[in-house]
Amino acid sequence: IEFENDIKERIIGIDIALDKLYANPYTNKIACDVHYMPIRTGTIDTVISQDLFEHLQRPDTMISEMHRILKPGGKLIFKIPNKHSIFGFFTRLTPYWIHKIYWKMALSDYPDVTPTFYKFNDKKTIRGLASDNGFKIAEIEYFCSFPPAPSFLPFFIYIPYLLILKIINNSVRLKRYSDVIVCC
């Protein structure tokens, strides 16, 4: 996400991995576990999280921690993969070592692959954990993103997959099977 310079000065980048934190473009950075952030209670306006919750075994602890650091009326905005999508189905079906091989072949510069647990990656769980931790959901949207086409994947597999995503993305009834959930 790109921000104006005056806003960049107010953003705090958080990551447990030091290499990713150093690569973070923002001035203010904290190396920490997102389950226990060294940030004063009620001091943050907005928390933005992208593709993180699926990698946590205890997303409820992180949701609680995010609620703690937010000011009253603060917002949590996040993007996560949908466990009910085609991609989510195959991700849950395949062992972790296959994920590592796939992403290494698909994106040669992909730095690492973190295990996925999908404990917070559907509308019902989002609503439950949000409510349990004092959040009110303003909006949940489904989107189709189009994953990278690895050069080793035959077009007769990848093209139908893209067509299925397009159908899902354009159908009101099938939208809940889109591969991405964005929530505020």
pLDDT tens for each residue of 87-102: 788 778 888 777 777 7
pLDDT at 169: 82
Average pLDDT over residues 43-54: 90
Cα separation, 37 vs 43, whole angstroms: 12
Alpha-carbon torsion angle 58, 80, 34, 107, nearest 10: 110
Distances (CA, A) of 52 to 18, 33, 41, 44, 170: 16, 12, 22, 19, 26
Place 74 in a pLDDT band, splitting at 50, 70 and 90: very high
Place 112 in a pLDDT band, splitting at 50, 70 and 90: low
- CA proximity to 65, closest of 101, 85, 38: 38
Asked whether the whole model's pTM tops 0.85, one would answer: no
* Spacing of C-alpha 175 from chain mean position: 18
* Spacing of C-alpha 53 from chain mean position: 6
Average pLDDT over residues 25-38: 88
pLDDT in tens, 133-184: 999 999 999 888 766 555 556 666 777 777 888 888 888 888 888 888 888 8
